[in-house]
Amino acid sequence: MNILLAEDDVRLGKLVARLLQKEFHRVDWVKNGKEAYDNACLLTYDVIILDWMMPGQDGLTVCKRLRQKGIQSGILFVTAKDANQNIISGLDSGADDYIVKPFELNELLARIRAISRRKEKPIEEVITLADLTLNLNTHVLKRNDSIIELTKKEYHLLELLLRNHNQVLTRELLFEKLWGYDTEVSDNALDALVKLVRKKIDLPGVPSLIQNIRGIGYKVRHSDV
């Protein structure tokens, strides 16, 4: 399960992020509304956890914008606002559930599982690149009917590039999305990861589908998308 956590309280954010990482597959933690919106548009999440009061844009605004954009991830508000009208406003903005601070961590996990179970899956979303198809719901990459096995990091790199095929993704952005701010990785880790993905998806004698924009970052070739 992929989860986006938007929480500007550093102490609470670290605690919840660690808990979620133990329970689920992948967690991205951001600390303001703009990052929450940008991440939700950039990657596919099963559940988005939104704090109501955040710098930049509040959770209510982010939730409304995501629903207007057609993002169908499950959304859970986590906030100290416990007035009945606040709860109604949160749910009317497009959220699936609402939990009030302070809360028991086990209750948070239970609500996430409940959203994941009952959330209707969106129409199967597939991105095609040449003769490759990447299913964003099942995370399966295929060439014709044959499955190409990817590690989690390889999948997330390819998803980022394909979802943003009309633009160059900078090295800084890719490092942030793949490894996070705090993880220490060598400068050539990204190039090594790209090399592994190319080895799996490129065909002999054909230019790589992943293009290196020297000094900037990577993109996929327009002619092949």
Residue 50: CATH number of its domain: 3.40.50.2300
Task: Identify the pLDDT of residue 180.
Answer: 74
Mean pLDDT value of segment 22-45: 87
CA dihedral (13, 16, 19, 23) positive or negative: negative
Task: Identify the pLDDT of residue 35.
Answer: 92
pLDDT at residue 225 tops 50:
no
Count CB atoms within 10 A of the CB of residue 137: 13
Co-location of 163 and 90 in the same domain:
no
Co-location of 8 and 96 in the same domain:
yes
pLDDT (tens digit per residue) in 155-200: 999 998 988 877 889 998 898 888 876 567 787 899 999 999 999 9
Full residue range of the structural domain in which residue 13 is found: 2-118
| Residue 215, amino acid | G
Co-location of 133 and 47 in the same domain:
no
**166: CATH:** 1.10.10.10
pLDDT at residue 122 tops 60:
no
Strand partners, 173: none
How far apart CA 90 and CA 100 sit, in angstroms, is 12
Q: Residues of the chain with pLDDT > 70: what percent? A: 93
Co-location of 36 and 93 in the same domain:
yes
Mean pLDDT value of segment 140-168: 89
Tokens 């790199």, located at residue: 157
Mean pLDDT value of segment 196-217: 91
Is there a contact between 74 and 96 (Cβ–Cβ < 8 Å)?
yes
How far apart CA 201 and CA 203 sit, in angstroms, is 7
Task: Identify the pLDDT of residue 79.
Answer: 84
Q: What is the mean pLDDT of the chain?
A: 86
How far apart CA 25 and CA 225 sit, in angstroms, is 29
pLDDT-based confidence at residue 43 (cuts at 50, 70, 90): confident
Task: Identify the pLDDT of residue 92.
Answer: 85
Task: Identify the pLDDT of residue 89.
Answer: 84
Task: Identify the pLDDT of residue 224.
Answer: 43
3-state secondary structure of 108: helix
Co-location of 197 and 130 in the same domain:
yes
Co-location of 100 and 136 in the same domain:
no
Mean pLDDT value of segment 138-154: 90
pLDDT at residue 210 tops 90:
yes
The region of weakest confidence among 5-14, 18-27, 88-97, 189-198 is 18-27
* Beta strands in 69-216, from DSSP E residues, in sequence order: 74-79, 97-100, 126-129, 132-135, 140-143, 146-148, 169-170, 210-213
Residue that terminates a domain, selected from 118, 139, 167 = 118
3-state secondary structure of 197: helix
Task: Identify the pLDDT of residue 212.
Answer: 92
Residue that terminates a domain, selected from 118, 140, 173 = 118
Co-location of 33 and 70 in the same domain:
yes
pLDDT at residue 124 tops 60:
no
Task: Identify the pLDDT of residue 173.
Answer: 86
pLDDT (tens digit per residue) in 60-82: 999 999 999 888 899 999 888 77
Task: Identify the pLDDT of residue 183.
Answer: 64
Q: Which two tokens mark 108?
A: 């948070």
Task: Identify the pLDDT of residue 81.
Answer: 76
